[in-house]
Structure 1
Amino acid sequence: MTNPPSLEAEALRLVASRYPHALGATLGGSAAQGRATPSSDLDVAVLLPDSDTSRREVIRHEGRPAEMFLHTVADLPEFFAWDRARRRGTVLFLYDQGVTLMDPHGHVSRARAQARAVLASGPPPLTPAEWERGRYLLTCFMDDLIDTQPADRYEQLSLADSTLREAAHLLTAHHSAWTGIGRWLPRRLLSADPERGKALLDGHQVVAERGDPAPLAAAVGQLLDLLGGPLREGYTQYWGE
């Protein structure tokens, strides 16, 4: 599946009209991957001269919302490091997998090479304290989910969401893989571990559709066994961790 050329042309018109001093631009997200729908927004990374200011803007152009990731050339390496530290790599993937809209001076090509090098290094590993906290939180969410009464659907659904998010955080970290939020959570989860990731997602779906937490709890139990087992009594969190 490919995008209609109009999306790239629309994004280029946006950059040209709103950021005429841009040094380069890339179209990413669903539009770059051929998954855009009529209501999809545009994710656009724009490189600016160092005299400008790095920022993030959400605007509307020609009736379509657009999320603009604006960085000066000097700021971009520092932002890439920050993007890696949070383990999602949002803008790193935008440059790595995006479609170049304009690159008159080669800045986008160099940024793409930098992004790919950072992505190849993977996200930073979790610290021992982060692993313990993650195991403890996931154990708590699983226990509470199992104990929730079927009539308490609001609580059950909230706990299922929290369980899935924490499980995805730990499973992707176990594989030294990138994580995500929103629609990118299942995509990153399945990419990191197709079998265990699908078990978690299927279990979450069963809670939502049938109110049965058993499959999700079973998938979480298998994940916790992989990471050293559930963590309850004996867990200690020190101030500042």
Structure 2
Amino acid sequence: MTSDAVVRARHLVAEYVPGALVAILAGSSARGQATSTSDLDIAVLVPDGAGTRRETLRYKGLPVELFVHTRAGLAELFSADAASRRGTMQHMYAEGVVVIDQDGAAVRLQAWAQELLAEGPAALGPEAVETARYALTDAIDDLADAADRFEQLAVAAVVLQSAADLLLDHHHAWYGAGKWFPRRLLAVDAERGTALLEGHLRLCETADPTPLLLAATQVLNLVGSPLSEGYHRTWPGAGQ
């Protein structure tokens, strides 16, 4: 994290969100890993009665993502991010740098976010895990049989994502999207995560699905084995 990023974020919030109570600089700029194209991710607490919004803008040549919310709005965002199993706002608050703190709330909000992150997402229920096992088993079978290269690549992406989701749930860990997908996967299970990612890379480079199939099957065995025959699900309202 550089002092320039903090100063820039503070000035930006003062200009675009006057009256902000708390501002948290998150992302690569907060970690001191920003590149010339990195954006500024800023969470902003505003007084009650204001609206909650996400806004993308450009400030002095830099792309900016503003996440503006009241206390009630933040609670709703935390709840939504917990339901998505990604914890985006929780990570922003827990790991970000305070750039504005008008009413002393920043420390309390960061502690709240850290507590929620430590709890992790709610575990998938047995029925959801069973459905995920069935879906991954089906995708593995499709990948093993795929002869068309485009179909193989498409199914491989499904296998990677499905296996990663099951592995992260097994470890009671938060999901990640984009660049955070491999980061979260490797952080929670370096051995199995590496096997999945390297297996997918191998398939993309050589069309050989074997390493990815082995890695995904290993995850299936970890969470209860492959599932095809014997899978049964009754849809609500069926037969009425």
Into which bin does the TM-score normalised by the smaller protein fall? over 0.9
- The answer for the alignment partner of 2:215 in structure 1 is 219
Give the Cα separation in 1 of the matches to 2:39 and 2:171. 31
Structure 2 residue runs without a partner (length 5+): none
- The answer for the alignment partner of 2:233 in structure 1 is 237
Point out the more displaced range, 37-46 or 67-76: 67-76
Does 2:26 correspond to 1:35?
Answer: no
Give the Cα separation in 1 of the matches to 2:64 and 2:151. 34
Give the Cα separation in 1 of the matches to 2:186 and 2:151. 26
Q: Give the CA deviation at 1:6.
A: 2.2
Q: Secondary structure at the match of 1:74?
A: helix
Identity fraction in percent = 49
Q: Give the CA deviation at 1:118.
A: 0.8
Q: Is the 8 A contact 1:47 1:108 kept in 2?
A: no
Point out the more displaced range, 46-55 or 229-238: 229-238
Q: Secondary structure at the match of 1:154?
A: helix
Q: Give the CA deviation at 1:237.
A: 2.9
- The answer for the alignment partner of 1:115 in structure 2 is 113
Q: Secondary structure at the match of 2:56?
A: strand
- The answer for the alignment partner of 2:168 in structure 1 is 172
Give the Cα separation in 1 of the matches to 2:46 and 2:235. 41
- The answer for the alignment partner of 2:95 in structure 1 is 97
Residues 161, 35 of structure 1: CA spacing in aligned structure 2 closer, same or farther, 3 A cutoff?
A: farther
Q: Give the CA deviation at 1:186.
A: 0.5
Opposite residue 112 of structure 2, the aligned amino acid is Q
Pick aligned residue for 1:161 from 133, 150, 157? 157
Tell me the TM-score normalised to structure 2 length.
0.94
Q: Is the 8 A contact 1:43 1:67 kept in 2?
A: yes
Q: Is the 8 A contact 2:5 2:30 kept in 1?
A: no
Pick aligned residue for 2:202 from 186, 199, 206? 206
- The answer for the alignment partner of 2:136 in structure 1 is 138
The alignment yields a C-alpha RMSD, in angstroms, of 1.5
Q: Secondary structure at the match of 2:32?
A: coil
Structure 1 residue runs without a partner (length 5+): none
Does 2:60 correspond to 1:62?
Answer: yes
